[in-house]
Every structure is written in structure tokens, then in C-alpha cells.
């Protein structure tokens, strides 16, 4: 087991990519805190699924945009496990990938940008701000921030989402440069259009087919692809890798 007895927090883990990462982490031996915002039933279902498969997990509610809520969440983990080994910053403000309903450059407001910054960047900042002292005390830790391949290939200009995810990668690299000497590795994963998820369900078939035609592997990314990459970055297989952004999109972006 690659993550045996590691304590992991996955934010936004009640559905989609976050839920799949939580399940895969638990299957690799981690004890997983399944963070959720509102839907406790879905979080409980993920936890129960993990337990039914002989894994260990527990739900923890917190709005990652709220520093006090994050402080309480991390304090709960510390009180119960006296440590935190892995953080996956997956939570974001809800976003729908629909080219027909997206905000154009002329119609978008700063509030749209701010909303996405609050979910992706501020959320990650709040969690890291609380987690880093614990990881520093144990001289080890892995932080994984969820970005998007749209930052390198804005096939459809979802302006607010792409800008916030680009900033998140900047945050990832800046943080990695400082905390590497503390034994903490910070990386990002940039998935392509990941299907099926709640966010991608409104992406029209013609758009999906167009992406598939351009993708060397001739398929869309699925949540399990992203989870496998998260296991790699969370485990000793990625020792001495930090400040990187790993594109998981079938080769649509090659760096």
C-alpha cells in the first residue's frame, strides 16, 4: 500500500474527482478526511463506501473559504490523529462548463472572477496556512492543488475559471519554493475535461467529440485518471518532485 497509515485531507470530496481521490487514497491505506460543504449525505455515502471496502475515512464539514471553519477542521484532524500527511485542495466554487452559457469577455463581471479566486486560491491558501505548521513539525508533507489544462490550452475561454486556476499554479510554485526545505512537497494536477462529473455534464457532445479528436489518446480524462496521478504525487514514488504541474489530459497539452 502506497499510503499506508497516512492521514489525508481531500477537500470537496463528496462527489466527482474529489470523491474518487478519497476512495483511491483509502484503498492505498490512507485514513481520509472527506471534506464537504453542504451535502453531508453524499459525504457520508463516500465514507461508507470506503468503510465497506475495508478502508478508513470520516466526513468533515468546512467551507474552505472561511478561515475559522478551516482552522476548526484542521484542529479536529490534529486532535484525533496528531498529524496530517497529505492535503488535496480540490474544492472550488461551483462551475459549469457550458460554452453556450459562459460569461463572455464583454459580459463578465469582476465578481465572477472573485468568486472563482475565493474558491480555488483562497480556499487552498486557508487550508495550507493551517496544514503547513503540522507538516513542518513532522518534517514531511504533500500538498496537491487541483488546476486545469485550460490554463495552457484555453480551448473555450472560461475567463474567471481559467484565471483563478492559473493563479493557483502560481501559488503552488511559490509555496513549493519556500516549504521544500521543511520536507513538504507542493504540486498541482491539471486535468483535461473530466467526464463524467457534475461540472462537465453540460458540456455538449460536439465539444466533447472535438476534444477527443484533438487528444492523442482519443478519449476524455476520467476521475480515476486524476486519482492515480494524485496517488503518485502523494506517495514516495514522487520523492523530490515539487513545484510541478502535471497535466492529465491524454496529451492535449504537452510540456
Whole-angstrom distance, CA of residue 248 vs CA of residue 221: 7
Separation CA 245–CA 175 (nearest Å): 13
The residue count of the chain comes to 255
Number of Cβ within a 10 Å radius of residue 22:
32
Judge whether 247 counts as a catalytic residue: no
Catalytic choice (95, 158, 161, 247):
161
Residues 6+ apart with CB under 8 A from 131: 9, 74, 84, 87, 141, 143
Contacts of 124 (CB under 8 A, 6+ apart): 64, 89, 145, 168, 171
Active site residues: 161
Amino acid at each position: 500500500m502506497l499510503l499506508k497509515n497516512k492521514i489525508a485531507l481531500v477537500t470537496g470530496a463528496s462527489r466527482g474527482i474529489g470523491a474518487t481521490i478519497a476512495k483511491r487514497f483509502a484503498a492505498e491505506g490512507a485514513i481520509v478526511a472527506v471534506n464537504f460543504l453542504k451535502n453531508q449525505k453524499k459525504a457520508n455515502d463516500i465514507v461508507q463506501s470506503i468503510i465497506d471496502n475495508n478502508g478508513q475515512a470520516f466526513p468533515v464539514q468546512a467551507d474552505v473559504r472561511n478561515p475559522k471553519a478551516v482552522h476548526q477542521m484542521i484542529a479536529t484532524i490534529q486532535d484525533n490523529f496528531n498529524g496530517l500527511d497529505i492535503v488535496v485542495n480540490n474544492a472550488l466554487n461551483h462551475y459549469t462548463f457550458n460554452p453556450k452559457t459562459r460569461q463572455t469577455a464583454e459580459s463578465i463581471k469582476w465578481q465572477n472572477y472573485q468568486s472563482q479566486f475565493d474558491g480555488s486560491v483562497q480556499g487552498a491558501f486557508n487550508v495550507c496556512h493551517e496544514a503547513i505548521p503540522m507538516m513542518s513539525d513532522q518534517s514531511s508533507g504533500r500538498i496537491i492543488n487541483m488546476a486545469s489544462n485550460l490554463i495552457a490550452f484555453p480551448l473555450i475561454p472560461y475567463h474567471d475559471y481559467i484565471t483563478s486556476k492559473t493563479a493557483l499554479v502560481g501559488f503552488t510554485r511559490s509555496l513549493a519554493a519556500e516549504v521544500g526545505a521543511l520536507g513538504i512537497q507542493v504540486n498541482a494536477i491539471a486535468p483535461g475535461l473530466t467526464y463524467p462529473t457534475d461540472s462537465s455534464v453540460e458540456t455538449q457532445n460536439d465539444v466533447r467529440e472535438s476534444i477527443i479528436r484533438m487528444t492523442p489518446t482519443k478519449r476524455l480524462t476520467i476521475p480515476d485518471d486524476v486519482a492515480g496521478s494524485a496517488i503518485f504525487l502523494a506517495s514516495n514514488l514522487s520523492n523530490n518532485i515539487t513545484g510541478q504541474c502535471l497535466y492529465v489530459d491524454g496529451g492535449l497539452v504537452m510540456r
